[in-house]
Structure 1
Amino acid sequence: MSATPREHTRTYYLGKLATELEERGLTALLRSHPPALRISHPDTFMLAETVDCVPLSGGWFYRWSWGELVGLADEPALAAARIERVLAARP
């Protein structure tokens, strides 16, 4: 079974976000179906979040597992900075 164009777009944007997160020292593992990133700090794997990517009326957006938007998929550096801040704020 081949991936749909929408899955390819999700994977593309998630790959860009993964690169930004890894440059910040975080671990980002791509889950293939449905495409999503499992993000954690390498020293604290217990603190992890899942982020996916969804198309909305204003374009493609990164979204937390609970449904809140992280940021525009066209701005992976900004989204990565927000994710980094959220993971750092957790005890």
Structure 2
Amino acid sequence: MAAEPHEHTRTYFLGILARELELRGMSVTLRRSPPALRVSDPEAAMFNETLDCVPLAEGWFYRWSWGDLVERVEDPAKAADRILRVFGG
């Protein structure tokens, strides 16, 4: 069965965020179906988080597992910085 078009878009945006987080020293795993990004700090492995992204009327946004929005997908560097702040970095 072929993936839905939104799944391809989610995977694309999450891949960009994954790169930004890797550049900041985070450990990431991109799950393709359903698209999600598992993020952990290699120095504090007990804390990890799963993020996804969603289309809203205002555009696409990265989203925490608990449903709050992180940042627009057009600014993955800002999203990565916000994620690091939550991780305590």
TM range (shorter): over 0.9
Q: CA RMSD in A?
A: 1.0
Q: Deviations over 1:32-79 (max 9, x none)?
A: 221010100012221001110000001000000000000001110000
Aligned to 1:32: 32
Structure 1: runs of 5+ lacking an equivalent:
none
Aligned to 1:3: 3
Offset, 1:8: 0.5
Q: State the distance in 1 between where 2:65 and 2:74 align.
A: 19
**Number of residue equivalences:** 89
TM-score (norm 1): 0.93
**Structure 1 segments of 4+ aligned residues over 2 angstroms from their partners:** none
TM-score (norm 2): 0.95
Q: State the distance in 2 between where 1:28 and 1:56 align.
A: 25
- Percent identity, please: 61
> Residue type of the partner of 2:19?
T
